[in-house]
Structure 1
Amino acid sequence: MTGKADTPGPRLADDCFAGPQKLLRAEEALAAILGAAVTVAEREEVPVEEAGGRVLAEEIAAPQDVPAFDNAAVDGYAFAHASLAHPGPTRLAIAGRAAAGHPFEGAVRLGEAVQILTGAMVPEGADTIVMQEDVETADGHVIVPAGAKPGANRRRKGEDVKAGSVILGPGHRMRPQDVGAAVSLGRGRLKVRRRLRVAIFSTGDEIVPPGADLPPGQVYDANRPILRALLAPLGVGLIDLGVLRDERGRVQAALEDAAARADLILTTGGASKGAEDHVMASVEAIGRLHAWQLAIKPGRPLGMGQIGDTVFVGLPGNPVAAIVCFLMFVQPLMARLQGETWRPPLRVRVPARFEMKKKPGRREYLRGIGVREADGTLTGVAKFPRDGSGILTSLREADGLIEVAEETTRIAEGDLVTFLPFHAPGLM
């Protein structure tokens, strides 16, 4: 069942990159993206089982305490702590049994215990539980050893969530634990944002589809499969238009087709001003091109614009540059288009295990390899020795990106550098 749709507006605010044509710093570009992009994905209602990975479009509050009653954290025996003799073991009569969904009827009196299984409601009169492997039973009695603490192994009513508490809000991307929390509150359906429709294609006469014969001078199209893999965990509706030859008419027709079907167009290659780079010229002809050069390495030729109400991003043709630009700029843009609350990726400061010199004025993303102790503790980060934006090995062997600020001109061994681990939330 689909809920009431929002009224879609322009994907980007007018003239979001207006101003002097200059190399944009990374933070300027990101600020422009986040400030200009608006949510275009309408709300819809889905079964809670299908909400994983979707962006929540409502507030979820607890109608009752979770758990709704005191329950056992272990299999064992429940009793009143006041029944225990001090300081030695205590012999208690077994008055019955409680299991999940089958509570003990009645109250537990002093001198009694009830066998209880994990998740079962703690009977009235009981406040403490001992694990079954810590006791002995004989002749309808249980021997509780000395030392049991009051309230042991008892999950309290509302200790997870109190009634009325807001646990999730609009803009949150649902993780498995969030789905479980919604179910625990009795929710069977959730309002989420529809999946973002993303169109992709590659350009270039030299590009050959994966698995095909490779004539001299040709290269395999790695970028489009890379984009598909980057987009897969983001739960988008993918429109794959394949590889386009370097012909202005074909490129322009493909862009027009994609704009009619998608919220976002991603291309790789043809993002510079070369004679055979038709993507930027086509966008300018049928839409608007807001920016196309960034002061970053790798990734300087990154284009942004729109065709009608559809956002366009032209990624560099070199695969490392395409991945870096996707992670640092496209992911935040997609979050904003889909109504997701975007949070910057985790950045940690660790000692450099390398030396380098750098020109000022641009931000660089080096491929970093974590230096760890035997127990896994991160003690520093080394730089992959080759920086070429076409060397995929540098990303395959890397553990993350080393972010070097524009003003930095030199890094010495032991200097603290900013490391963005690939496995951290918000990056990859």
Structure 2
Amino acid sequence: MITFEEAIAAVLKKAGPLAPEAVRIEDAVGRALAEDVRSAVEMPPFVKSAVDGWALRAADLAKGRELRRRPGLIQAGENFQGRLRAGEGVKIMTGAPVPAGADAVMMVEFSAEKNGRVVFSRGIKRGENMARRGEDIRKGQVVLRRGTVIGPQHIAVLAAAGRARVRCGALPSVALVNTGGEIVPPGARRPKYGIYNSNGPMLSVLLGQDGVAAEPEIVRDEPRRLKAALARALKSDITVISGGVSMGDYDLVPGILKSLGVKKVFHNVRVRPGKPMFFGVKGRRLVFGVPGNPLANFLAYLAYIGPAIRKMSGRPDHGPEFRDGTCAVKFDPRTPRRAMMLSRVNVRAEHSLSPLDHSGSADILALAGARAFTAVPEGGAVKKGGKVKFLTWE
């Protein structure tokens, strides 16, 4: 049986990057760039005014404080016809192109109009209140590097650089299968001994946070139905199966996967929750078999499935990201396996961690009140004040 750390490494080793694809920049948030993005234009693409005011020659105000008012108003997006002559000033708005002949823009606050002339209360230096062509971005300049995970702030940069589409790492397709004759969708009529499907919607939302859409399919523990469902699922880049991987009479998944050509990488991990975890491959496709309890499903996504999705889509920050913390009290899981204990986190106290009491791996209320899994070493306890690693979803 392999360790938790060995299982994570084995998954990431098999999670190869997918071929990049071109996407609209509006659809690129959360995706990793598969190219260096160079600007198609200079920014700004012309000399523009940085303020509302008067375009003029700085040397004219060195001789006096009054200029002739040139008729007209230069607005953003408009072009000034002709050339500004000596002794003239023309009104200009923020973002408008500075006319030929002008070498400065005086803020309107320092001016007053009188009888076709403009009087200024101060002088000005050449270049003042003007944005030079290309001073922000040069044509051909790399504005975003390959591997950058696109956020809303990057969309403005891409748009300003003239890019409507960019090449990003492709997102893997994911099939999500929940096994068990007792499971029914939330809101459906529940048989007396049935339970609502909590793992499927939870995994579906977790997948959505990584940009992947997948609706859970519920399949009864019947060999023929289960084999047909898994055969369909294996057409996806990633198959996630919740339930059916332990040692019970109805835990049919490992055997069926083998018959469908899935090669086992590992089955059983020295960790709690999630010991019966299955991971296999079929070509470049990944297959995760997760024990049916909710805590194991949640941990499996944080530790294995989510990192694999992010790595396949080219994200350098694929994780899992373990952080450093301190035990606020003693952590004693009383198990020889690596224990991932549900915990509260006090971020104001240097990530001080406290374990949550719960009734077992199916305790979803405890999961709802937790903020992290604290990693307790195999076969041991950690005393108060001890240093530990923790895995959080916030």
Partner of 2:12: 34
Quote the residue 2:241 is aligned against.
267
Q: 1:131/1:365 Cα in 2 relative to 1: closer, same or farther (>3 Å)?
A: farther
**Is the partner of 2:225 in helix, strand or coil?**
helix
Please say which structure displays the higher CA radius of gyration. Answer: 2
Distance 1:67 1:202, change over 3 A: same
Kept after mapping to 1: 8 A contact 2:66/2:120: yes
For residue 232 of structure 2, the aligned residue among 242, 246, 257 is 257
Aligned to 2:287, which of 299, 307, 312? 312
Change (3 A) 1:294 1:90: farther
Contact 2:171 2:309 in 1 (8 A): no
Once the two structures are superposed, the pairs formed by residues 145-156 of structure 1 within 5 Å of their partners are 154-156=130-132
Letter in 2 for 1:161: I
Q: Give secondary structure in 2 for the equivalent of 1:252.
A: helix
Q: 2:375 aligns with which of 384, 396, 404?
A: 404
Q: Structure 1 residue aligned with 2:254, among 248, 269, 280?
A: 280
Q: How does 1:272-421 map to 2 (within 5 A)?
A: 272-286=246-260, 287-307=262-282, 309-344=284-319, 349=324, 352-358=327-333, 362=338, 364=340, 366-372=342-348, 380-383=351-354, 385-387=356-358, 388-398=360-370, 400-404=371-375, 406=377, 409-413=381-385, 418=389
| Aligned counterparts, 1:17-32, within 5 A | 22-26=1-5, 28-32=6-10
The CA deviation string for residues 85-108 of structure 1, in whole angstroms up to 9 with x for no partner, is 7xxx96666556432211445666
State yes or no: 1:212 paired with 2:181: no
TM-superposed deviation, 1:280:
1.9
1:247 to 222, 225, 233: 222
- The one-letter code sitting in structure 2 at the alignment partner of 1:368 is R
- 1:98 aligned to 2:74? yes
Measured against aligned partners, the alpha-carbon deviations of 1:33-77 in whole angstroms (never above 9, x if no partner) come to 22222234x444444444444554444222333332343444445
Partner amino acid, structure 2, of 1:24: T
CA distance in 2, matches of 1:144, 1:379: 56
Q: Which residue of 1 aligns with 2:37?
A: 60
CA pair 214-68 structure 1, distance change in 2 beyond 3 A: same
Contact 1:353 1:380 in 2 (8 A): no
Deviation at 1:364, TM superposition (A): 2.2
Moved more, 280-289 or 119-128: 119-128
The answer on whether the counterparts of 1:78 and 1:129 sit within 8 Å (CA) in structure 2 is yes
Find 2:93's aligned residue among 117, 137, 144: 117
CA RMSD of aligned residues (A): 3.8
User: In the aligned structure 2, how far is the partner of 1:384 from the partner of 1:128?
Assistant: 65
Shift of 1:23: 2.4
| Aligned CA distance change for structure 1 residues 52 and 386 (closer, same or farther; 3 Å) | same
1:63 counterpart SS class = coil
Could you tell me which runs of 5 or more consecutive residues in structure 1 were left unpaired when the two chains were aligned.
1-21, 373-377, 424-428
Report the TM-score, using the length of structure 1 for normalisation.
Answer: 0.74
Which secondary structure does the structure 2 equivalent of 1:295 belong to?
Answer: strand
Aligned letter for 1:182? L
- Residue type of the alignment partner of 2:8: L
- 2:190 maps to a residue whose letter is L
Task: Specify every segment of 5 or more residues in structure 2 that has no aligned partner in the other structure, as ranges.
Answer: none
Partner-residue secondary structure (3-state), 1:357: coil
Contact 1:64-1:163 within 8 A present in 2 as well: yes
SS of 1:304's equivalent?
Answer: strand
Greater shift in the superposed pair: 298-307 or 89-98: 89-98
Aligned residues: 387
User: Residues 264 and 344 (structure 1 numbering): CA distance in 2 closer, same or farther, change over 3 Å?
Assistant: closer
- In 2, the alpha carbon distance for the partners of 1:274 and 1:73 equals 73
Aligned identity (percent) is: 32
Closer/same/farther in 2, CA of residues 97 and 333 from structure 1, 3 Å limit: same
CA offsets per residue over residues 331-366 of structure 1, 9 Å max, x none? 221123334434436665455544423567625253
Where 1:332 maps in the other structure, the secondary structure is helix
Using the size of structure 2 for normalisation, the TM-score is: 0.80
Contact 1:402 1:420 in 2 (8 A): yes
Residue type matched to 2:46 in 1?
F
1:385 deviation in Å?
A: 2.4
C-alpha distance 420-105 of structure 1, shift in aligned 2 (>3 A): farther
